[in-house]
Structure 1
Amino acid sequence: MTHRLTLEQARRIIVRAQLLDAERAGDVVEVAEQLGYVKIDPTATIAPCEHTVLWSRIGWSYEAGQLVKAVEMDRLLFEFDGTFRPMSVLPLMLPAMRRWPRRESSRQWLDANDGFRADVVARLRAEGPLLAGQIPDTAQVSRPPDGWSGTNQVPHMLDFLMRQGVVAVAGRQGRHRVWDLAERVYPRDLPELDDEEAGRLLDERRLQAAGIAKQKSPWTPVGEAGEPATIEGMRTKWRVDPEAVAALNEDDGGRVALLNPYDGMLFDRPRLRDIFEFEYVLEQFKPKPQRRYGFFAHPILMGDRFVGMLDAEVDKAREVLRVNAVHEFLPFEPEEDDMVRSEIAELGEWLGVTVLDAR
């Protein structure tokens, strides 16, 4: 069966799949289970990505301590490759982790540093959990600095061992990761899956989070998950989550959401362009004269439309959220302006600061 969807229906499916409809999510774990991951990024003109992503789904009741508890105490989430993920996806990832790395240069570096690898594992076994800075660098062969990391080889080795499922992030001290052996962080009773089943289930989880995705998308690879779909006015083949289609008849309404630039809703740029008619460009790395909306402007979603960009920043010294600009793609109606102002006010209240409109 091929589902034939209107553009509005496709948008509603995506918004609901991303937990950005009128019904707020209940807690951190619910958000992670549905989205598949929560991106971690320290850029905090307003708040770090992981916290704004969760606030935009849960609302005023979200507190940073809830995320820490879910990761470090309850072990319902785990940190991997710059994201927090639900523990339920770990069994789906393990088959690929055991085959890692595939790149020849990475295999050669690991082989050349077999003694270094053993040193890191032994140190964690004896003394862990540890910060990377507490582990000696005994590398036999070094990787050159890449602009993101220095000459110390310990972070490289820890990253490689994490991808192999040997070590894991046990928690954080501030923004610094604390490492331990994976066997002391991950549950022991995880189900064993073969490559084919794990890949199929990962595709299904990605489609669950996306709602709808191009059948051959490098941005949101979903394979043959879900069911085929078409969208009016497009020749592209899509895959859609049948449960999301069934929920279209429910009156979910809409709301305003302020999205962190690294929010997963924004990741699939071609889909944003095709379905939402939104050409999103992150201006963080552009020279200031070339920026149109601001260094780290947050897209504004209203219902199922992107209506503008919020250029704002927290001034910690003055305890204010300074609103530099609200860029309207089309002039707001009075009711729309009130809705956006209300959401900004709620953001300030959640941050515990006063909103200062500098426009």
Structure 2
Amino acid sequence: MSDLTSPAQQSRLRRLALAAQGLLQAQAYGSGLAGARNAIKHLGYVQIDTISVVERAHHHVLYSRVPKFTPAMTNQLLLNRDIFEYWSHAAAFLPIDDFRFSLPYKHAIKNGQIHWYKTPDKKLMAELLLRIRNEGPLRSRDIASDTINREGWWDWKPAKKALEQLYMEGELMVSSREGFQKVYDLTERVLPSHVNSSMPSVEEFAAHLVDQQLRCHGLVSLKGFTYLRRDTTLRNAVKNRVQEGLAQGLFEEVQIGSGDVFLAKAGTLDGQLPRLSNRLQILSPFDNSVIQRDRLSALFNYDYQIECYVPAAKRRYGYFCLPLLYRDKFIGRMDCKAHRKNRHLEIKTLHFESHDFDEDALIAAFITAITRFCQFQDCDTLSLTTVYAKGHNQRWRRALKPLAG
């Protein structure tokens, strides 16, 4: 086991992790539609989220990695059948070539081993399936109902629940999205004929997860390979796969300063890494690089929690704080809101943690990043309410003033 605890070694591990995520390179996956397709294939999934304080997470993740990406491209990838929508550890866009690895979860729901809804309406499901077969794709809002209650997802009308159950069981797929509205169709009409749809063995699934996680993270803990997957059989198969890889010299273990142990492909630690630049990135709370909070803390010494689920009185940084990545360190967070009617981006709070970077270089990098971010949000103006930056508040305000509306 390698023991990498010096500051230089820790920096190299951070760079390895960020390079594996495509966050150091200018265009690791290419640009535009092709770049977005390649990014999802490499990352293994992009999480879909409903929160729209700023541009939604699935678009934000791709924007952070793919030059010339636009939000319309995710639906184009669905229509092109380059990706499909299903559940990973959360709702996600996934590479179409990985379709077969969605089948075990679908099978478990359909057979009652896992409950999506505890008492699915089988009669309504059969009626909806027949309607879609005969009439074509369907949106939940296309169905009339007298039982609508819009107070929360648990009060969705019965037809919506039935559609979701059919989707989770694998009878339906999302053929496209109209805005944020799913369009459902029969799986047999959505899934391209060339895609492998055979049920994987647990060993094949384990091998897939190990390869995927090492590819997109570079360094992975044993727990990280099956992040938020509760299937004990699958977890054991992954553990066996890792042990076999170690015994065969395919993987190597790395212990870092926190005492945590990570695995990497053999030779990864000796490979060439992209050079660091003075680029600052504004990331999504659901970005693939930050979603595993324990890993984030261990590798980057960055304690992050999304606070939209925390009572307002207990929030430290704000409702929807976005992680700030500068060079190879997470150095702060920004709570902001896009006011789309006014085309205005409001930065409510800007927090910078202790760092040893040149302040002028950091401010310049942030100006570049926030200018691009405003464009991504379709905002023309910017305002800043509060900044916490080691007593340099006025410097930040002066620097941002030319962007203010």
TM-score w.r.t. length of structure 1: 0.87
Report the AA paired with residue 302 of structure 1: Y
| Residue ranges of structure 2 left out of the alignment (5+ in a row) | 230-237, 246-250, 386-405
Q: In structure 2, do the counterparts of structure 1 residues 190 and 99 end up closer, same or farther at CA, with 3 Å as the change threshold?
A: farther
Report the AA paired with residue 202 of structure 1: L
Q: Mean alpha-carbon deviation: is it higher for 47-56 or for 20-29?
A: 20-29
Q: In structure 2, do the counterparts of structure 1 residues 336 and 289 end up closer, same or farther at CA, with 3 Å as the change threshold?
A: same
Regions of 4+ moved over 6 Å: none
| Residue ranges of structure 1 left out of the alignment (5+ in a row) | none
Whole-angstrom CA distance in 2 between matches of 1:55 and 1:291:
27
The corresponding residue for 1:49 is 57
Instruction: Trace 1:330-349 onto structure 2 (pairs within 5 A).
Output: 330=354, 333-349=359-375
The corresponding residue for 1:305 is 329
2:103 paired with 1:94: yes
Whole-angstrom CA distance in 2 between matches of 1:146 and 1:238:
43
Instruction: Give secondary structure in 1 for the equivalent of 2:316.
Output: coil
Report the AA paired with residue 169 of structure 1: V
Q: Over aligned residue pairs, what C-alpha RMSD do you find?
A: 2.8
2:133 paired with 1:125: yes
Deviation at 1:209, TM superposition (A): 1.9
Question: RCO (CA 8 Å, sep 6+): is it higher in 1 or 2?
Answer: 1
* CA offset digits 1:202-230 (Å, max 9, x no partner): 33213322221211345377643562312
Q: In structure 2, do the counterparts of structure 1 residues 180 and 115 end up closer, same or farther at CA, with 3 Å as the change threshold?
A: same
Match of 1:201 among 199, 208, 219: 208
8 Å CA contact 1:96–1:195 kept in 2: the answer is no
- Alignment length, in residue pairs? 349
The corresponding residue for 2:26 is 23
The corresponding residue for 1:256 is 280
Deviation at 1:243, TM superposition (A): 7.0
Deviation at 1:147, TM superposition (A): 4.6
The corresponding residue for 1:182 is 187
* CA offset digits 1:308-331 (Å, max 9, x no partner): 111222222321222233211126
* CA offset digits 1:248-300 (Å, max 9, x no partner): x2333243211111222221111111111111111112233322222111110
Deviation at 1:184, TM superposition (A): 0.8
Instruction: Give secondary structure in 2 for the equivalent of 1:23.
Output: coil
Deviation at 1:96, TM superposition (A): 4.1
Whole-angstrom CA distance in 1 between matches of 2:118 and 2:59:
38
Q: In structure 2, do the counterparts of structure 1 residues 151 and 163 end up closer, same or farther at CA, with 3 Å as the change threshold?
A: closer
Whole-angstrom CA distance in 2 between matches of 1:108 and 1:319:
43
8 Å CA contact 2:345–2:381 kept in 1: the answer is yes
2:249 paired with 1:214: no
8 Å CA contact 1:71–1:77 kept in 2: the answer is yes
The corresponding residue for 1:233 is 257
Report the AA paired with residue 193 of structure 2: R
Q: In structure 2, do the counterparts of structure 1 residues 104 and 4 end up closer, same or farther at CA, with 3 Å as the change threshold?
A: closer
Identical aligned pairs, as a percentage?
Answer: 24
8 Å CA contact 1:228–1:237 kept in 2: the answer is no
Deviation at 1:78, TM superposition (A): 1.0
Whole-angstrom CA distance in 2 between matches of 1:53 and 1:251:
20
Whole-angstrom CA distance in 2 between matches of 1:244 and 1:15:
13
Deviation at 1:70, TM superposition (A): 0.9
Q: In structure 2, do the counterparts of structure 1 residues 89 and 8 end up closer, same or farther at CA, with 3 Å as the change threshold?
A: same
Q: Mean alpha-carbon deviation: is it higher for 255-264 or for 281-290?
A: 281-290
8 Å CA contact 2:109–2:115 kept in 1: the answer is no
